[in-house]
Amino acid sequence: MDEQFDYVVIGAGSAGCVVACRLVEAGLKVALIEEGPTDKHMFVQMPGAFVRMIGTERTYLYKGEPQQELGGRHPIVPQGRMLGGGSSINAMIYVRGQPQDYDDWAAGGATGWGWNDVLPAFLRAEANEVLAGPLHGTTGPLRVSEPRHRHPLSSAFVRAAQQAGLPASRDFNGATQEGVGFYQTTTFDGQRGSTAATYLAQVLGRPNLRVLTGTRVRKLIIEGSRVTGVETENLKDGAIGRILAGREVILSAGALASPKILMLSGIGDPAELALAGIPVAHALAGVGQNFQDHLEVSVYGRTRDPISLVGQDQGLRALIHGLQYKLFRSGLLTSTVVESGGFVDTTGAGRPDLQFHVLPVLAGDADRAPLPGHGISINPCFLRPQSRGRVRLRSGHFADPILLEAGFLTARADVETLIRGVKLARKILRQPALQALISEELLPSAKPEISDAEIEAHIRAFAKTVYHPTGTCKMGTDALAVVDPSLRLHGMQGLRVCDASVMPSLISGNTNAPTIMIAERCAEFILKSPQ
């Protein structure tokens, strides 16, 4: 029999858990559908162990098409596949971006999404353990805390960056974003504070919420010009079912899966749908277009002594760290690994265009083993990419992976920003605070001076995503807009899209906090003006 709810939320990630929580709190009957399992795994809960989850059943590794701009490599974009989604496998960095990011959204057609419009939602979400005032919330579900662990290499970076002339910062979400320091994180009591562990945990067990894990959404159910529910598949027994929404369906599957579900349901560019053999239910040219992501590249330094994270998850050391964490909620496993970093204006335009993520280890990637031995990775990342890609269907079968044409580094401005970032990272590596710990630069070169061409070659060989896919169901009113400023799908009733896919352009920083803000606003729109 068909199951009936007021709202059906597709995807229990950073956005889906928030929307479901707020609707359930309002007394509405909600079904929350997640393809992956629960988040109940010790490596999910331990901040320092999250990398152990990448490549397991709790993640999905999206593989892009090979790119000449990346030396023929396939970019890999891991995404969360469990309760909490990306917030259950990310590095937990709490960054909102710059006020101008949101003012740019509003100026571009996302009316009502300027900085003064979105700040109340950020404050409503946040429970900051040390910061307060007009720019920080203290009573929301999302726990934000100071780092419990500071690795010597992370601390040395912060000092070295100041020696290189960069200002120190205590708060990257304060009056100005610029500076270097330690990131605040979405953690509490030494453990991960995903939206599953915070928002969803508040309403689990209530009779008006049903959470379905291990359940895939095959397509939306469309009657005329209205979405009325979803067709599902139980991944354990293959059973096909229908879950109906008396009011609305909320699509929160992420910037790679949300456009896929729309296209499989016949919503998209008619030419693209025809290639996959899917009848057009609603023509909407922008579905899957406008793909954006942050890219970074590592500058690697070898440490004089074996002080990095290498080997800390093996043998007796792993046992000691595990006991310390379990008994005292302290030590290395409370680290988010990416403890320090910062934001830099490399052009003098008065607005940071570059972010640093610093790892106290010679980091690899989802498709590349780390360099051997002990060291540090200083990763400059451009903040506002000019390159654009797209998400397409590989076929009309729901189980087939998407076709991701990422378009990374196709805009020359992105390459130039990373070149400036690598130069600055190399300068920081050579400051006294790091030179006391570093014996040599490994890559891009041990030579003090190298050409821009050599740096660019390093970028094209090693640049990787920061796992911030966005933009594929953009919000606005132009020809490629997929949703309106209330997140309703253009031209149809009964469906909203609520995740990072609706961002018209990438914000200047990590995307988890902004995605949660979007979900807070989506719930607010629904409760004020339900369809």
94/186 Cα distance (integer angstroms)? 6
Dist. CA 100–CA 106, nearest whole Å: 10
Quick check: is 397 catalytic? no
Residue 472: both structure tokens together: 């594929």
Residue 410 burial class via C-beta count within 10 angstroms: exposed 0-12, middle 13-18, buried 19 and up? middle
N-terminal to C-terminal alpha carbon distance within the chain: 25
* Contact (CB, 8 A) for 10 and 250: yes
Residue type, 205: G
How crowded is residue 202: how many other Cβ atoms within 10 Å of its Cβ?
14
Nearest to residue 157, comparing CAs of 482, 410, 433? 433
Beta carbons of 346 and 420 less than 8 angstroms apart: yes
Both tokens assigned to 366: 């989802």
Residues facing 340 on adjacent strands: 182, 358
Cα distance between residue 499 and residue 520, in whole Å: 11
Which candidate in 151, 321, 374, 468 is catalytic?
468
The one-letter amino acid at 423 = K
Is the distance from CB of 7 to CB of 24 less than 8 angstroms?
A: no
Q: CB 367: neighbour CB atoms within 10 A?
A: 12
CA 292 to chain centroid: 12
Count the neighbouring beta carbons within 10 Å of the beta carbon of residue 372: 10
Report in angstroms the alpha-carbon separations of 329 from 191, 200, 326, 337, 422: 8, 23, 6, 16, 36
Tokens encoding 187: 């953690």
Report the chain's C-alpha Rg in angstroms: 22
SS3 content of the chain, % helix, strand, coil (to 5): 30, 25, 45
Which residues are catalytic, by number? 468
